[in-house]
Amino acid sequence: MRKALVITNYTDETDEDLTGISSAVIKGCTNNTNFIFADNELTELMTANTDFVHKAGLAETGNKASISLKRLRCGP
pLDDT by residue for the chain (76 residues), tens only, comes to 555 456 666 777 777 888 888 888 899 999 988 888 889 888 998 998 898 888 877 776 655 556 666 666 555 5
Position 52 in a domain = yes
What CA–CA distance (Å, rounded) separates 9 from 55?
A: 20
With 0-12 CB in 10 A as exposed, 13-18 as middle and 19+ as buried, what is 6? exposed
pTM: 0.62
29 is a domain residue: no
pLDDT for res 46: 92
What pLDDT does 55 receive? 80
Please indicate, yes or no, if residue 15 is contained in any of the structural domains.
Answer: no
Specify the number of domains making up the chain.
Answer: 1
Is 37 part of a structural domain of the chain?
no
Check residue 69 and give its pLDDT: 61
Residue numbers of the domain that contains 48: 43-76
Question: Is 70 domain-assigned?
Answer: yes
What's the pLDDT at 16? 81
